[in-house]
Amino acid sequence: MTDSLPAGARLFLPPYLLERIASAGSAHLRECARHTLLVDQQFRARAGTATLPQGSARRGEPARYVHSAEQRQVLPGRLMRREGEGDSGDPAVDEAYQGLGATYRLFWEVYERHSIDDEGMALLATVHYGRDYENAFWDGQQMVFGDGDGELFNRFTIALDIVAHELTHGVIQHEAALAYVGQSGALNESLCDVFGSLVRQYQLGQSVDEADWLIGKGLFTERVAGRALRSMARPGTAYDDPLLGRDPQPDHMDAFVVTEADSGGVHINSGIPNRAFHLTAMALGGHAWERAGRIWYDTLVDRRLEQDSDFATFATLTLDNAERRYGATSQEATAVRAGWRRVGVLP
């Protein structure tokens, strides 16, 4: 199996959800899902074609540009808001702008990272992409958000962690470049969930006990029987809906899903490393971005993390980074080791 997407191209919504809707939804929902799947296939062939605007030369200051595709499939579209400008009055535009800023703040204020590439890369986003488009994606250069169908999915800018999740794909692209297939692909997805959750927790000032550890909360409409797209605390419990089915994520290696679909289960099996991070953060307490997040960030930028790294490789590196930063017998190293053991990755 090989990576089915071009370098850097990452879709937020798992294909298996859209395929269920395309086969069992109402006539309108089937059409929306089929159209989205078709657009996603076309996007794979032309990702990363936009020319980036000027970035930020001053460390600590982002350079944000939010465009509107105006329900067309054009990138980047019409510029609606740029760095320093006030609210546009368009909820999707302003949510994207705030989400880009919140993500930049976490990476800069906590990890001293100056944008996606650590060199001030412009944060470019397009909203209102296509008509009834049910996804969001990072295309290797920019963020793109659909408005959803209004029946199952709200606009994809509605959840801060979705914005942060997709931008983290960009950080991974510039660092480890984890191959988007199998366990390395699931690690790619998990890291995006980790930092997506941390951005929201940092924005809200939440402790590990106050956070809900949900990914995509608010994306589902009231018609869907579900809290969010994924749960980092309890993988496999985020939704259980007659149309969408049940959240398929495992929370332990004993239930690891072997599949050719979803690029080898990248969205499904990410629940295992997600839970390992959650367990580590809960054991350490306080704010997750401070110690657990630091260890995960140290590992993300660790030059020993190779493109085809599996769960065990990543886990071993997190443990080594915890020991290097905090000590071999530290609370941090103990929490990391226990977290990976409880999900069956470390013996």
Q: Please identify which of the residues 166, 175, 189, 332 carries the catalytic annotation.
A: 166
What is the token pair recorded at 51? 């020319």
- In the residue annotation, 166 being an active-site residue is answered as yes
**Nearest 5 degrees, angle CA 285-CA 227-CA 23?**
140
Q: Are 136 and 156 in contact (CB under 8 A)?
A: yes
d(CA 283, CA 334): 9
Residue found by looking up tokens 């078709």 in the block: 38
Q: Is 69 exposed, middle or buried (0-12, 13-18, 19+ CB in 10 A)?
A: buried
- Go through 235-245 and write b for each residue having 16 or more CB atoms within 10 A of its CB, e for each that does not: bbbbbebebbe
Q: Please identify which of the residues 114, 128, 165, 267 carries the catalytic annotation.
A: 267
Residue 251: CB atoms within 10 A of its CB come to 23
- In the residue annotation, 114 being an active-site residue is answered as no
Helices (H), 123-215: 160-174, 182-204
Residue found by looking up tokens 């930092």 in the block: 195
**Active-site residue set:** 166, 267
